[in-house]
Structure 1
Amino acid sequence: MDPLTWLLIPLATAIMAALWGCCSGRSRRTDDWADVQRYDRLRAALARASASAPTTPATPC
C-alpha cells in the first residue's frame, strides 16, 4: 500500500493542473466570426479608398 501512496502525488498534481487550467483560462469568445467579417469590411473599404485616391507624380528634389 505504501508504494501506491506515491502514485497519489502525480494524480493529485494532474487533477489540480486540470482544475487550474479550467478556472484560470481565458473565456472563449462567441463573436469571432463577427470580428472577421468586420475586418473584411474594413479591408475592402481601405482598398476602395486607396484605389480612388489620386496619385501624385514624384518630383525630384
Structure 2
Amino acid sequence: MGALLWLLIPVGAGLVAALWSSWALRHRKSGDVAELAGYARFRDAMEREHSASEPAPAGSDSV
C-alpha cells in the first residue's frame, strides 16, 4: 500500500504539470502577425526619421 502512495506523487505531479501547461498555452497566438506589425512600425519610424532630418553641410566632415 505504501508503494502505491509513493506512486501517486509523480502521477499527481504529472497531472498538475499537464493542467498548468494547457493553461499557460491557452493565450498564445499562432503566427507572427504581432511581430511583423511591430517591425513594419519600426521601419516606418526609421524612414520618417531619416527623411525628416536635414543633410549635413558639405564642409562639415570630421575625420
TM-score range (shorter-chain normalised) is 0.5 to 0.7
**Sequence identity, in percent?**
11
Aligned to 2:24: 25
Runs of 4+ in 1 over 4 A off after TM superposition: none
What's the C-alpha RMSD, in Å, of the aligned pairs?
Answer: 2.2
TM-score for the superposition, normalised by structure 2: 0.57
Q: CA deviation at 1:46?
A: 0.6
Q: What is the aligned residue count? A: 53
Q: CA deviation at 1:34?
A: 1.6
TM-score for the superposition, normalised by structure 1: 0.58
Unpaired runs of at least 5, structure 1: 56-61
Deviations 1:7-28 (A, max 9, x none): 1441342143124314432422
Unpaired runs of at least 5, structure 2: 55-63
Give the distance between the partners of 1:54 and 1:22, measured in 2 at CA. Answer: 49
